[in-house]
Amino acid sequence: MQPTNRSSRILLPVKLWFVYLSLFVALGLEYIPTGRTPGLPDWVALVLAFWCVREPLRIGLGAGFAFGLLMDVGLGAAMGQHALAYVVLAHLANSLARRVLWFPAWQQALHVLPLLLFAQVLMVAVRLLAGAEFPGWSYFLSSFSSALLWTPLSLLLLLPQYQPVERDDNRPI
Amino acid sequence: MSLVGHQPPPIFKRGPAPLARLFVFVAVCLALLVADLRFRYLEVMRNALSVVTYPLQMAASTPADVVRNAARYFGTLIDVQLENAELRRHQLGAGERLLRFEHLEQENAHLRELLQMSQRVQTRSIAADILYNAPDPFARKVILDRGAQQGVEAGLAVVDAHGVIGQVTRVHPIQSEVTLLTDRNQSIPVSVVRNGVRGVLYGVGRGMLEMRHVLADVDIQPGDQLVTSGLDGVFVPGLPVATVTRVDRDADAFARIECEPLAAIERSVQVLVVGRAAYPPPPPPPATEEGR
């Protein structure tokens, strides 16, 4: 007997424009100039991981690559740095997709945390190889704050799918 | 491939295998990284993509602008008065020195004319404010509020009241990015004021600088002032940069020379972007050098 997939009640199909809108909003949040405050969440990585887990057939490596490049350009990082990390992140999130959704939200966050950390480790490795300065351990705080935001974010991003298109009191869901 | 071990049945069309696609994308990313970090080929691509990111960046920086302007607006009157008095004192001192400087400059030009030497480098400068640290945590860079529209160009030196803080490395339409001297990939050619010994100053991180390519037996001591030599044809010569703090001659054929920047590199807010009014002619081709 299979356990019930309690974390996903029956939802409306996602609209692709909403996925891309949320990714662009995350990109905008990332561009807010905050200097070098450590521990700010990586919004794009988080939203990307979310959609890769939710919609593994539609959002994947291509989106990771494109938004990674936009991050690199916007933040003035090395070209391909975020793209590489996000491509790997998208692949891992896609392959975890069927497993993760069986868990409640906070355990999903625990699944995603190592993926986010691995993406950051990749970026650090790339930049250190290129001769940059180690940014300090507080750099990795960003993954933890992102993982903390997983639960509220999944509620927020699934909100449009909770509502039925037309109200019908006799319908069971 | 899924971690639970189920391959999707082949009736669903999914394109190339996920692992193959991953390898393709990773290969593309690595190629981009090498092209950008090693050869700096991708500035064109960066500019093209910034057409997409620029409006978003402008929109995102609005809240920060509002906060900064509000902070300036609500700054107390007393602070402003104190600062004003301080600035007046500074200006008196600076004005007096400027009078002498103008006199000396005229005298210098006259003497050079008499000796039929070429004129000293003409400079131009643009005042700018540092807006914030660049978001890339791996580099020490700051963003200025002046860009290509105000005449900032890549390569110009950026100085504060005490000395050089960095070099403009990337120019956007109304902003520009300055790499600070303490960045590990930044270097600046300098000479010692006391005796004209030349070397190149590199950032080593942690806010310190190191002068390299100086032989161990060269006369250089702690306390020596370093200024830009201008030999690169980019920096204006004579800008103060750093003081020597420690000289270690035991290490190698070359001395290890640690220096401390004169400018408040990580703290200054108002800066000047300084450049040459005209660039020097290109160096002669190497064939003529071999003939010597």
**Nearest chain B alpha carbon to A94:** B2
Question: Which sign does the torsion angle of CA B210, B211, B213, B216 carry?
Answer: negative
d(C-alpha A49, C-alpha A89), whole Å:
7
For A168, the enclosing helix (H) or strand (E) is none
The minimal CB distance from B49 to the residues A73, A91, A127 is found for A73
Distances (CA, A) of B161 to B165, B241, B262: 10, 11, 10
SS (H, E, C) chain B: CCCCCCCCCCCCCCCCCHHHHHHHHHHHHHHHHHHHHCCCCCHHHHHHHHHHHHHHHHHHHHHHHHHHHHHHHHCCHHHHHHHHHHHHHHHHHHHHHHHHHHHHHHHHHHHHHHHCCCCCCCEEEEEEEEEEECCCCCCCEEEECCCHHHCCCCCCEEECCCCEEEEEEEECCCCEEEEECCCCCCEEEEEECCCCCEEEEEECCCCCEEEECCECCCCCCCCCEEEECCCCCCCCCCCEEEEEEEEECCCCCECEEEEEECCCCCCCCEEEEEEECCCCCCCCCHHHHHCC
**CB of B236 within 8 A of CB of B275?**
yes
Of A35-39, A107-111, B3-7, which has the strongest mean pLDDT?
A107-111
Would you call A135 an interface residue with chain B, using a CB distance cutoff of 8 Å? yes
Q: What tokens appear for B234 in the block?
A: 């980019």
Would you call B258 an interface residue with chain A, using a CB distance cutoff of 8 Å? no
d(C-alpha A60, C-alpha A36), whole Å:
29
For A108, the enclosing helix (H) or strand (E) is helix A105-129
d(C-alpha B215, C-alpha A147), whole Å:
53
N residues, chain A: 173
Neighbours of B290 (CB within 10 A): 7
Tell me: the pLDDT tens digits for A50-91? 999 999 888 989 999 999 999 999 888 889 999 999 999 999
Who wins on pLDDT, B256 or A35? B256
Reply yes or no on whether the pLDDT at B55 is more than 50. yes
Reply yes or no on whether the pLDDT at B250 is more than 80. no
Mean pLDDT in residue range A7-35: 85
Enumerate the residues of chain B whose CB falls inside 8 A of the CB of residue A80: 28-33, 36
In this complex, how many residue pairs, one in chain A and one in chain B, have their CB atoms less than 8 Å apart? 140
Reply yes or no on whether the pLDDT at A1 is more than 50. no
Would you call B18 an interface residue with chain A, using a CB distance cutoff of 8 Å? yes
The minimal CB distance from B56 to the residues A27, A88, A130 is found for A27
- The confidence band for B3, taking pLDDT boundaries of 50, 70 and 90, is low
pLDDT, residue B131, reads 84
**CB of B143 within 8 A of CB of B132?**
yes
Tell me: the pLDDT tens digits for B129-161? 888 888 888 888 898 888 888 888 888 899 888
- The confidence band for B13, taking pLDDT boundaries of 50, 70 and 90, is low
**CB of B198 within 8 A of CB of B210?**
no
DSSP state of A2: P
pLDDT, residue B178, reads 92
Enumerate the residues of chain B whose CB falls inside 8 A of the CB of residue A94: 18
Would you call B93 an interface residue with chain A, using a CB distance cutoff of 8 Å? no
Q: Do A80 and B3 touch (CB under 8 A)?
A: no
pLDDT, residue A104, reads 87
Would you call B57 an interface residue with chain A, using a CB distance cutoff of 8 Å? yes
pLDDT, residue A7, reads 46
Would you call B67 an interface residue with chain A, using a CB distance cutoff of 8 Å? no
d(C-alpha A141, C-alpha A151), whole Å:
18
The mean-pLDDT minimum among A81-85, B19-23, B77-81, B248-252 falls in: B248-252
- The confidence band for A2, taking pLDDT boundaries of 50, 70 and 90, is very low
The minimal CB distance from B177 to the residues A33, A76, A131 is found for A76
Q: What tokens appear for B243 in the block?
A: 């003081």
d(C-alpha B5, C-alpha A99), whole Å:
10
Question: Which sign does the torsion angle of CA B232, B233, B234, B240 carry?
Answer: positive
| Amino acid at residue number A136 | G
d(C-alpha A117, C-alpha B114), whole Å:
68
Q: Do B25 and A65 touch (CB under 8 A)?
A: yes
Enumerate the residues of chain A whose CB falls inside 8 A of the CB of residue B143: 33
Say which residue the tokens 């093209």 belong to.
B48
pLDDT, residue B243, reads 92
Q: What tokens appear for A158 in the block?
A: 């699934």
Tell me: the pLDDT tens digits for A121-165? 999 999 999 888 888 899 999 999 999 999 999 989 988 888 766
Say which residue the tokens 């660049």 belong to.
B134
Q: What tokens appear for A146 in the block?
A: 């992102």
The proportion of chain B whose per-residue pLDDT surpasses 90, expressed as a percent, equals 13
d(C-alpha B109, C-alpha B239), whole Å:
19
Tell me: the pLDDT tens digits for B77-124? 888 888 899 899 989 888 888 888 888 888 888 888 887 766 666 788
d(C-alpha A30, C-alpha A73), whole Å:
12
d(C-alpha A92, C-alpha B191), whole Å:
53
Q: Chain A window 22-51: which residues touch B at a Cβ cutoff of 8 Å?
A: 24, 27-36
- Identify from B1, B2, B24, B33 which residue to disrupt to test chain A contact, counting A C-beta atoms within 10 A and taking the largest count: B33
pTM of the model: 0.80
